[in-house]
Amino acid sequence: MLVVVEYISEIRIEDTVVPVYVTDDSRMYVGMEIMPYLKTPRQVKQTIITDKDATQYDVYPILEVFKFIKNKKLLSLDTSSIYEKQHVLISVEKQVLTPENEFAFTLKKMLSSKKKK
């Protein structure tokens, strides 16, 4: 799924730091490091998100995680570590295009060529 990761934070469970990604459509995902703390990891829907700078993340939707977490008392969200994601601009030649990314890029090219006319 092609998204724009706007903010990154972290959740701490015991000694493990789990990244939290907030996208431009206000969805939140957590990294795969959360897996050992889930009651039934196979029931949680795993997703791969691709940021606009072609970085891919294996993640779980945060609402799904909270349904299946083993012990919620151990969970700690560190709000002091929320920071804005810095995006790298990738030239077209260097861009690795996944099918979703390629589709979005083609649409962007088509729309920009229409604006020039």
Instruction: Output the furthest CA–CA distance in the chain (Å, rounded).
Output: 59
pLDDT of residue 59: 93
Q: What is the per-residue pLDDT across 55-111, written as a single tens digit (0 to 9) for each?
A: 888 999 988 888 888 877 666 666 556 667 765 544 444 455 555 566 666 667 666
pLDDT of residue 11: 83
User: What tokens were used for 82?
Assistant: 């929320």
Burial of 117 (0-12, 13-18, 19+ CB in 10 A): exposed
pLDDT of residue 92: 47
Lowest mean pLDDT among 7-11, 65-69, 111-115: 111-115
What DSSP character marks residue 93?
T
pLDDT of residue 113: 61
Tell me the average pLDDT across 31-60: 87
Contact 30, 20 (CB under 8 A): yes
Rg for the chain, CA atoms, rounded: 17
Q: Which residue has the higher pLDDT, 43 or 104?
A: 43
Please list, in sequence order, all residues whose beta carbon lies within 8 angstroms of the beta carbon of residue 43, skipping any fewer than 6 positions away.
68
Q: What is the per-residue pLDDT across 11-28, written as a single tens digit (0 to 9) for each?
A: 888 888 889 888 888 889
